[in-house]
Amino acid sequence: MLKSIFQKFAFTKNELKVIIFFVVILLIGSGIKLYKNFSSDKNYFNYMQSDNNFANFLTVLNRDPENKMYNNNTNQLENLNLNNEELSKISKLQIFEDTTKNKLKKKSKKGADLKEKSININTASKSELMLLPGVGEATAEKIIKYREEHNGFKQIEEIMEVKGIGIKKFEKMKLYIIVQ
């Protein structure tokens, strides 16, 4: 019967050997997989308990408006029935969040020191211009050069004519600049 099937498809001897080889490998692999699945005495981890703990943790975290959960709500955390390892993970998570927030604040702090509409771009010095978000030493020099060549700025939007200041930079700095 097999001979008639193989003759019908007109396989050569070498092709038949390769096909048989792959079928045998497939059967052996499937047998090993089944054997491992059914004969294994492994205890699989139950994620249900950790999911519940995480849900409770998020509930506590959302109750704290300033997100200082670990420092201010330690009593609530103790009520979650977490072991020391889980509490350690939570405290590490909180430390990570705090340091990440601090890094983000440091990056965006440049414009935070300025008051709205506080820098006149027609009279500001290089160091004052460098306080603007997105403006470094080279850009401040370009602003001063443009202002000298064009007898000052007529509107704040005109600062986008300076090379290196596009719409995105202008959007960041427009709250802090004025023209007088």
User: Bigger pLDDT: 111 or 131?
Assistant: 131
Tokens of 156: 């704040």
User: Bigger pLDDT: 159 or 91?
Assistant: 159
Residue pair 146/161 in contact by the 8 Å Cβ criterion: yes
Q: What is the pLDDT of residue 52?
A: 77
What gap in Å lies between CA 17 and CA 25, rounded to an integer?
A: 12
Q: What is the pLDDT of residue 72?
A: 44
Residue pair 173/132 in contact by the 8 Å Cβ criterion: yes
Q: Is the pLDDT of residue 139 over 90?
A: yes
- By residue count, the chain amounts to 180
Average pLDDT over residues 89-98: 56
Q: Is the pLDDT of residue 70 over 70?
A: no
Q: What is the pLDDT of residue 112?
A: 52
What gap in Å lies between CA 119 and CA 41, rounded to an integer?
A: 72
What gap in Å lies between CA 159 and CA 147, rounded to an integer?
A: 9
Tokens of 73: 């709500």
Residue pair 156/178 in contact by the 8 Å Cβ criterion: yes
Tokens of 102: 């601090």
Which element (helix H / strand E) includes 178? Answer: strand 177-178
Which of 3.40.50.80, 1.10.150.320, 3.90.230.10, 1.10.490.10 would CATH assign to domain 112-178?
Answer: 1.10.150.320
| % of the chain residues with pLDDT over 70 | 60
pLDDT in tens, 31-40: 998 888 777 6
Q: Domain-by-domain residue ranges, the chain? A: 2-38, 47-107, 112-178
Q: Please give the C-alpha separations between residue 132 and each of 124, 141, 174, in angstroms, as whole numbers.
A: 11, 13, 9
pLDDT in tens, 46-62: 777 777 777 777 676 66
Residue whose structure tokens are 């010095």: 125
Closest residue by Cα to residue 73 from 84, 81, 63, 86: 63
Residue 130 DSSP label = T
Q: What is the pLDDT of residue 82?
A: 55
Alpha helices in the chain (DSSP H): 2-9, 13-39, 47-63, 69-72, 74-78, 84-107, 126-129, 137-149, 167-173
